[in-house]
């Protein structure tokens, strides 16, 4: 019997943030090939630093995941597992978001090293796709899970969303983002959904929302005074889930309320932190690392219970 994997998104998002900090921060200390940069070419020193850092993080994170997670479960021959019905597809949104950001980080790293725009877009997208693919392959050899075609599709969508925008517009006008709030559901199944804030952020999909955040000014005529950083965002989430596919009636003999499972759709405003002008390199790095978070703001919600709700401050 397959079991749900409520911590998968957390492992992937944590890895993305680790690569972000390393590739966009630590690489600044790598030596540069000033002659190549002056000529507008590739900096061999920086490119070497990027490749070494990415390769080290790639191998170290996957090795760490194997020993910290997969080693504890029986192995099997490679097989598929259809988990498309789990968590009302909130987890699939997490996969797409993580692939998008690893692709974005990879692209930024290659551009910093002087690699051309088009090549950097494809290499960055391939990095995001390949990293996520390795996670799916590890799942495919675990008897507890399996290679998920749904996850594979979500990963591909996330990476291609980044690549297609970079090739078309040479910028990201639409970004995938994440937000979280604590819910009432975790108390009934703390082993599955977490028993503290950090675990809830990782495991409780009821509190996850994923957003497609579009920048308005990038579609307006050049020279407009419209705020460069102001976005409009559409979001998706779900609630009432105390189990992956369905809700159990009890946990360890204790009854669980029969919550209705329903989907939520949002319309809100957002901030593109990467478009805020600042002379501070530290602030730019902070804004870049935090750019995957949807800024809390008023939101209009519609859910499949047939309700419209105005959320004064949603996150």
The torsion angles phi and psi of 241, rounded to 5 degrees, stand at: -100, 110
Contacts of 65 (CB under 8 A, 6+ apart): 11, 15, 135, 138
Query: For residue 47, what are the contacts with CB-CB under 8 A and spacing of at least 6?
Result: 110, 113, 114, 115
As a residue count, the chain comes to 315
Q: Which stretches of the chain are DSSP H helices?
A: 8-24, 34-38, 44-68, 90-112, 117-140, 149-169, 190-193, 197-203, 281-289
User: Angle of helix 117-140 relative to helix 149-169, nearest 10 degrees?
Assistant: 170
Categorize the per-residue pLDDT at 148 as very low, low, confident or very high, splitting at 50, 70 and 90. very high
> How far apart are alpha carbons 208 and 198 in whole angstroms?
13
The sign of the torsion formed by the CA atoms of 63, 66, 71, 72 equals: positive
Which of 102, 100, 97 is CA-nearest to residue 15? 102
Given its phi and psi angles, is residue 69 left (phi above 0), alpha (psi -120 to 50 degrees) or beta? alpha
Q: What is the DSSP letter of 84?
A: T
> What percent of the chain stands above pLDDT 70?
87
23 vs 201, residue with greater confidence? 201
With b for 16 or more beta-carbon neighbours within 10 A and e for fewer, the 49-60 pattern comes to bbeebbeebbee
Confidence of residue 3 (pLDDT cuts 50, 70, 90): low
Tell me the CA distances in angstroms from 39 to 34, 36, 109, 184, one per residue in order.
9, 5, 19, 59
Give the lowest-confidence range in 1-5, 109-113, 125-129, 276-280.
Answer: 1-5
- 117-140 and 44-68 helices cross at what angle (nearest 10)? 10
Per-residue pLDDT band at 11 (split at 50, 70, 90): low
Q: Specify whether the CB–CB gap between 74 and 143 falls below 8 A.
A: yes
Q: Per mean pLDDT, which range of 33-37, 133-137, 146-150 is the poorest?
A: 33-37
Q: How many CA atoms lie within 13 A of 243 on its CB side?
A: 13
What mean pLDDT comes out for the span 282-292? 89
> What is the average pLDDT across 211-215?
98
Q: Is pLDDT of 32 > 60?
A: no
Q: Write out pLDDT tens, residues 87-134.
A: 999 999 999 999 999 999 999 999 999 999 999 999 999 999 999 998
Condensed to tens digits (0 to 9), the pLDDT of residues 76-96 reads 999 999 999 999 999 999 999
Least confident segment among 57-61, 64-68, 152-156, 238-242: 64-68
DSSP string, 126-141: HHHHHHHHHHHHHHHT
What is the residue-averaged pLDDT of the chain? 88
pLDDT of 63 reads 85
pLDDT band at 66 (very low <50, low <70, confident <90, very high): confident
152 with 126: CB under 8 angstroms?
no
């Amino acid at each position: 019997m397959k079991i749900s994997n409520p911590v998968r998104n957390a492992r992937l998002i944590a890895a993305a943030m680790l690569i972000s900090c390393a590739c966009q921060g630590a690489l600044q200390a790598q030596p540069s090939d000033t002659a190549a940069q002056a000529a507008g070419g590739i900096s061999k020193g920086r490119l070497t630093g990027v490749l070494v850092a990415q390769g080290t993080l790639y191998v170290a994170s996957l090795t760490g995941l194997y020993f910290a997670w997969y080693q504890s479960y029986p192995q099997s021959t490679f097989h598929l597992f259809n988990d498309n019905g789990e968590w009302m597809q909130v987890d699939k949104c997490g996969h797409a978001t993580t692939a998008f950001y690893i692709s974005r980080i990879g692209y930024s790293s290659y551009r910093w090293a002087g690699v051309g725009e088009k090549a950097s877009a494809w290499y960055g997208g391939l990095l995001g796709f390949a990293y996520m693919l390795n996670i799916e392959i590890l799942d495919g050899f675990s008897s507890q899970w399996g290679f998920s075609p749904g996850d594979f599709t979500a990963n591909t969508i996330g990476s291609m969303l980044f690549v297609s925008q970079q090739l078309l517009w040479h910028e990201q006008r639409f970004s995938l983002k994440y937000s979280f709030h604590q819910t009432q559901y975790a108390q009934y199944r703390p082993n599955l959904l977490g028993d503290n804030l950090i675990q809830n952020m990782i495991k409780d999909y009821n509190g996850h929302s994923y957003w497609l955040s579009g920048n308005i000014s990038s579609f307006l005529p050049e020279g407009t005074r419209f705020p460069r950083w102001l976005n409009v965002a559409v979001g998706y989430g779900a609630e009432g889930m105390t189990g992956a596919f369905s809700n159990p009636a009890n946990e360890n003999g204790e009854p669980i309320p029969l919550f209705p499972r329903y989907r939520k759709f949002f319309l809100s405003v957002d901030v593109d932190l990467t478009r805020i002008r600042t002379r501070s390199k530290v602030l730019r790095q902070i804004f870049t690392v935090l750019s995957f978070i949807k800024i809390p703001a008023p939101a209009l919600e519609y859910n499949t219970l047939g309700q419209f709700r105005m959320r004064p401050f949603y996150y």
